[in-house]
Amino acid sequence: MIGIITAMQEEAEHIIKMYGLKNTKKLKNISIYENDNIVLALAGIGKVQASIGVTYLFLNYDISKLINIGIAGSLLGKNASIGDVFLVNKISQHDMYLPFDGSHLDYAKREIVINNNIFLDGDFEFKLVNNSYCLTGDQFIDDNNKVSELRGKYNADVIEMEAFAVASVAREFDKLDNCIFIKAISDGADSDAKDAHMGNLDFAMQNSLKVLEKIIN
């Protein structure tokens, strides 16, 4: 089966409608929707919920491909627009800090690279960026200075709250290179991000669905 994991109901409902998924299970904080070929975990926001959702999928379904899809903030300033879609192949978590040397420090700085051989081209009405770099953290970023700091430190493209956790769990199940990460820009992670995030969600998700459809088909 194709597994899909999303954080928010507003993200999931587009996919549920598109593929006619039915709600089959309700855990404490995670809802499962499926048809004969696709199972979606609506897991909730943040790294912990994403980890639980992915683990549940891998333990209960034969997942041949796992897709993490959702909206994200841009770290590119004027070089990215609302609705641009990024296919991610490198992920770091930006909010881990360990004041040690050696292997402890390596863990804190660890990058996860996904070798899924996914490269799309096509006549989309929005910009599609392949091979992009995503930052994950349990923080909603809405601060111009923080954007500058993270961009300077990591030179990353987008920022969100789940992808690193999804990739980490997939790696433990030897499924990392079966993962695809689709992130559509809803905001600039700046002082306007709170309002822009929800205001642009539907538009950004519609663009990401076009990429999802091409990947699944």
DSSP 54-93: HHHHHHHS--SEEEEEEEEEESSGGGS-TT-EEEEEEEEE
Tell me the per-residue pLDDT of 194-207, one tens digit each, with 9 for 90 and over.
889 889 999 999 99
Radius of gyration, CA atoms only, the chain: 16
Binning pLDDT at 50, 70 and 90, where does residue 123 land? confident
* pLDDT for 100 beyond 70: no
Contact yes or no for 76/147 (Cβ under 8 A): no
CATH number at residue 68: 3.40.50.1580
Would you state the pLDDT for residue 53? 98
Contact yes or no for 56/41 (Cβ under 8 A): yes
Per the structure, the complete domain to which residue 29 belongs is given by 2-216
* pLDDT for 2 beyond 90: yes
Q: Around Cβ 202, how many Cβ atoms within 10 Å?
A: 14
pTM of the model: 0.94
Would you state the pLDDT for residue 34? 98
Contact yes or no for 68/58 (Cβ under 8 A): no
Domains in the chain: how many in total?
Answer: 1
* pLDDT for 121 beyond 90: no
